[in-house]
Amino acid sequence: MSTHEQTATKKSALSWGALRPAWWNSLRRDEVLTAYLFVIPTVLGLLLFSLGPVLASLAISFTKWDLLTTPQWLGLQNYTAMFHDDLFWQALWNTAYYTLGTVPTGVVLALLLAIAMNQKVKGIVFYRTLYFLPVVSSIVAISLLWSWIYYPDYGILNHLLHGVGLPTLPWLGSTQWAMPAIIIMSIWHELGYNMVIMLAGLQGIPQELYEAAQIDGAGAWSSFLYITIPMLSPVIFFVTVLSLIGSFQVFGASYVMTKGGPLNSTLTLVYMIFREGFQYFDMGYASAIAYVLFLLILLFTLAQFNLQKFWVHYD
């Protein structure tokens, strides 16, 4: 556009602005006001119930506060005390153990189950629904159900072990088996959710790729390795990140099934935050642990995003 044309366009815009009727400005003001009326509740909700508590807990983490008396400023004492607290390190190890037990196994099983649920067989919708049902069930109800399954005397799992000639296990009453028991239950509970996401990814892969590979002589394993996995890698990455974040926040199963026991063998970081804050009323120490947990989740999530370039394909 030439300089003359640009000048003419600006003059036309200015003349329109000068000639706009009064009702036009009133209409614009009404639209802006309406937009603010719709936005304000959301902004207030974020400030009051999300951002506000987050910032408040950061300030509380530098104090000693029992919810009743005036907070006392401690500076970094809560953080320094945390790193000298053997219970904190045990909770951190238990959380890492839970993460290592649930995330890789859960992702692999979800992928295999999604492949099975992607087959065109009669009644496949029923099986998909069946596997997804635990996801919509309450974690409290699921934990109580599995507590009965793990019961040492009349639990169905020990009954099955005894029936095939294997020794029965104390499960939730043992420091060795309590966390594996929770891991097994958690994988079962979350499997349907990850399966549905994987299934959606599988159904988005063009069938023409498999047909072309079949024409070239590729078998089922080669197609899976060189077509399914690369095309599904963004979905696998998404499921892995969500599973990793969720595993660091495990609480319900440990609280309902074992109360963090026996001998703190299932005490996780979130359970320790709950116990320090709402049982011992040390909100400052609980807030400090919460922020360390936040930093751990952030670091591991950023690491996942940095590593994705080596194995995730978006083409």
Average pLDDT over residues 255-261: 92
pLDDT at position 116, please?
Answer: 92
Among candidates 198, 71, 192, which has minimal Cα distance to 128? 192
Mean pLDDT of 254-273: 94
pLDDT at 202 over 90: yes
pLDDT(24) > 90: no
pLDDT at position 220 over 90: no
Give me the mean pLDDT over the 84-92 stretch.
Answer: 95
- The pLDDT of 190-211, averaged and rounded, is 92
Q: Name residue 294's beta-bridge partners.
A: none
Average pLDDT over residues 184-207: 93
| Mean pLDDT, residues 7-35 | 61
Q: Determine the Cα–Cα distance for residues 234 and 230; give it in Å rounded to an integer.
A: 8
Mean pLDDT of 134-150: 92
- pLDDT above 80: residue 26: no
Sorting pLDDT into bands at 50, 70 and 90, what band is 32? confident
> Per-residue pLDDT averaged across 234-258, rounded?
94
**Is the link from the previous residue into 262 a cis peptide, with omega within 30 of 0?**
yes
- Would you identify the CATH topology of the domain 81-310? MetI-like fold (1.10.3720)
Q: Distance (Å, rounded) from C-alpha 100 to C-alpha 122?
A: 36
Q: Where are the domains of the chain?
A: 3-60, 81-310
d(CA 287, CA 278): 11
Partners of 64 in the β-ladder: 72
171 pLDDT higher than 70: yes
Q: Quick one: pLDDT band at residue 16, thresholds 50, 70, 90?
A: very low
> Which residue is it, tokens 């023409």?
208
Q: What local confidence, expressed as pLDDT, does residue 141 receive?
A: 92
Per the CB < 8 A criterion, the answer to whether 171 and 179 are in contact is no
Contacts of 156 (CB under 8 A, 6+ apart): 148, 149
Residue 308 is classified by DSSP as G
**Token digits for 300?**
């591991």
Confidence label for 257 from pLDDT (cuts 50, 70 and 90): very high
User: Among 93, 125, 60, 120, which Cα is nearest to 269's?
Assistant: 93
Report the pLDDT value the prediction gives residue 67, as an integer from 0 to 100: 87
Examine the pLDDT at 53 and tell me if it is beyond 70.
yes
pLDDT interval class at 60 (50, 70, 90): very high
Mean pLDDT of 131-149: 92
106 in Cβ contact with 235 (< 8 Å): no
What's the confidence (pLDDT) of residue 147?
93
How does pLDDT run across 221-232, given as a tens digit for each residue?
Answer: 999 999 999 999
Q: Residue 266 pLDDT > 90, yes or no?
A: yes
Q: Is the pLDDT of residue 208 over 70?
A: yes
